[in-house]
Each structure stands twice: as C-alpha cells, then as structure tokens.
Homo-oligomer: A and B are copies of this chain.
C-alpha cells in the first residue's frame, strides 16, 4: 500500500509534565516499540529503556538537526522515537519533525509518522490550581529566538484586548532575562491590576511550586525555565479557602459588556 521501500516508524512522543503517572499508555507503548531515542537529555532521562534501546541525547537548541537525524534513521528502516516533555505538538518536536520533512529528501515523506499527544504544561498547572483555562485562552511562546519581539508584543496586546486567558511558554532564560517583565508591562496597560497571575513550576513533580500574584505585583523573578506563567482574564476569579490553597478559575459564562 505505502510503496515498496521498507521504512521505519518515527514516533513523536509526549512524556507529559514529568510525573510518570501523567504519561499516557499510548506514549508508553510507543516507548516500548522504538529502537533509538532522540531528544533533549532531561526528557530522555525520564524514560526507563531496555538494554537494546539506544539514546541519542542532544542539546535543547538543536531541534531541527535532531529531527533530521531521526528521520534519516527511520528512512533507513529503524523504528525511532523523538521525545518531548509535555505534548510534542505544543512548542515542541512535532513541528520540528514536520519542518524537517518539508525541507528534506522525498523519502522522508514516506516515513510512517505517529505522534502521541500528551498533557501539556498549561493543563498540568491549571489542574493544580483549579480551572484558570475554563474559558477561552491562548498559548504564546515568549522566546524571541523564535520570532521578533515586536510580533510577541503585538500578540500579547491583541489577546489581552480579546479577553483571553494567556499561558506563556518559555517565559525566561539566562539568554532572555527581560522579556517576561516587558510582557507584564504590556499586559498592565490593557488588563485590570487585580487580574491573577499564576507561576506554575514543575506541576505535579516533587519540586512543584505554584505561586499566584496580582498582575500589578507580578514579579518575573518568580519564573524560571521550568515555569508556565498564566495571566488571567478580567473574568478570572480567586477563591479563598481557609487552610487550603486558593483556587483560581475562569467561569464558563461571559456576560459581555466589559470587553
């Protein structure tokens, strides 16, 4: 059916937020099937592999090279896995693999591609704090390695004007120290000062830390590379629970009027 050449399967696997209990059985099954694993080393380290399975770890920046290396092996008949944390389709390896197929030799288009979805960081953080993504929301990468800062600034203004809850991926790094603070400045021009901001670090993992602040007080220094930052909409509410952590949620209904 698929032509006569024998190609391998390329699995693009999402391991979920980090806790093994949050990786799907579908992803775990794909891990069992693959012979070689390509990925950023901390994600590969999460997997329990057999002695006959081989790891090819690489740095986080080399996504397209990693995707191309995996595709070349799959085209040669090997079953390979490209591993992402969270969901591989959200600011992760599935797009890099597609880009490599788009630009690469014709035979890479004949590789069997299987993407296994996963729980992406914003969903894991949201689950730990209530339901901040309970109504319309967006996910924006704050990395200006990937797009010019003016595109990011314009997007932030427009989605805040639209009244969407905003999940920021890649909020901060050593090489990108000022962008999150600038994002808060832009959002303060559009949104009420009281809007809750959630800093969700390592949700569901032993080193989890979830912090909620008003937008007026939101401090970029609370975030690190493992943090997903969520900015509420004007509708988002905080529930005070004596003796338990506050809940943050965005109601299902929107009465209109204030957008």
- The A interface is mostly helix, strand or loop, or mixed, namely mixed
Nearest-CB residue, chain B, relative to A138: B138
Is B21 within 8 A of A151, CB to CB?
A: no
Interface residues in A42-61 by Cβ distance below 8 A to B read none
Number of chain copies forming the complex: 2
Partner of A3, one of B147, B150, B243: B243
> In the complex, what residues of B have CB within 8 A of residue A164's CB?
138, 140, 155, 159
Stretch at the interface among A33-41, A98-106, A174-182, A219-227: A98-106
Is A94 within 8 A of B127, CB to CB?
A: yes
- Give Cα A138 to B136, complex, Å: 7
> In the complex, what residues of B have CB within 8 A of residue A3's CB?
243
Interface residues in A134-181 by Cβ distance below 8 A to B read 134-141, 146-148, 150-151, 154-155, 158-159, 161-164
Total interface residues on A, using CB and 8 Å? 85
> In the complex, what residues of B have CB within 8 A of residue A163's CB?
151, 155
A2 within 8 A of B: yes
A8 within 8 A of B: no
Is B243 within 8 A of A150, CB to CB?
A: no
Is A95 within 8 A of B249, CB to CB?
A: yes
- Give Cα A2 to B245, complex, Å: 11
The 4 tightest CB contacts between A and B, nearest first, are A95-B134, A98-B249, A147-B254, A138-B138
CB-defined A-B contacts under 8 Å, sample of 14: A12-B127, A21-B25, A89-B131, A94-B126, A94-B134, A98-B130, A115-B130, A117-B124, A135-B146, A146-B254, A148-B254, A148-B255, A150-B256, A159-B164
Q: CB within 8 Å of B: which residues of A?
A: 1-3, 12, 16-17, 19-26, 29, 63, 87-92, 94-99, 101-102, 109-110, 113, 115-120, 123-124, 126-128, 130-141, 146-148, 150-151, 154-155, 158-159, 161-164, 237, 239, 241-244, 247, 249-256, 259
